[in-house]
Amino acid sequence: MTIYDQIITACQPYWQVRANDIHIPVVYAFAQQLLVAHPAADPTIVLPAALLHDNGYANVPEALLFQGLAGAPTGFRPDITRLHEIEGVKIARTILAALNYDPTKIETICTIIDGHDSRLEALSLEDALVKDADKLWRFTAIGVQTSSPWMPMAPLPFLAYCVTKIERWFFTDTAQRMAHQLSTETCKKLQ
């Protein structure tokens, strides 16, 4: 069992809210793809951060779960977005320490988690890749179908809204290209 498998096993109990049991594996797969295109990035930072980034939603009261949607055109609550980041750092620190992960890397991973939605700039290539992988989810068919009701928007208008944000949301050209390609594929699937 790899360290990433161990992290997945430790994280899964936290993935039972906001469709994170679907979202996190998709983000993890996108992070792996982005790492191939960006070999200078450290996978031992990017992959754990991708797996741990939204675990904090497990500690957000259920009544508030869908009010902190990053990028939502209506109903956005930045305090809830921050709360899930803060709680996510606590969970990540606990999980990674229990797995005897490198303490220096734990701090870097926690810094990424602590602003993956609320911080508008990327602090490093690793941070950029995690942010990009997280947002690519919004362009997949399952991401659109899962996320659009939270806005609330119909799937195709939600996808159209996301397409208008590609240049603003993504830090790497690779992710921008992937988002455009995904949006085209998803639009065909949803029509």
C-alpha 12: how far from its chain's center? 15
Q: Which two tokens stand for residue 66?
A: 């869908």
Task: Say how far apart CA 4 and CA 10 lie, in whole Å.
Answer: 10
pLDDT tens digits, one per residue of 65-76: 765 555 554 456
Give the model's pLDDT for residue 61: 85
Of 15, 96, 163, which is closest to residue 153 (Cα–Cα)? 163
Query: pTM score, two decimals?
Result: 0.93
Expressed as residue numbers, the domain containing 130 is: 3-190
Give the model's pLDDT for residue 92: 98
Task: Say how far apart CA 152 and CA 118 lie, in whole Å.
Answer: 21
pLDDT tens digits, one per residue of 117-131: 999 999 999 999 999
Task: Say how far apart CA 40 and CA 59 lie, in whole Å.
Answer: 34
C-alpha 191: how far from its chain's center? 26
Task: Say how far apart CA 130 and CA 104 lie, in whole Å.
Answer: 18
Domain count, the chain: 1
**CATH number of domain containing 139:** 1.10.3210.10
pLDDT tens digits, one per residue of 75-134: 567 888 899 999 999 999 999 999 999 999 999 999 999 999 999 999 999 999 999 999
Q: What is the mean pLDDT of residues 26-47?
A: 98
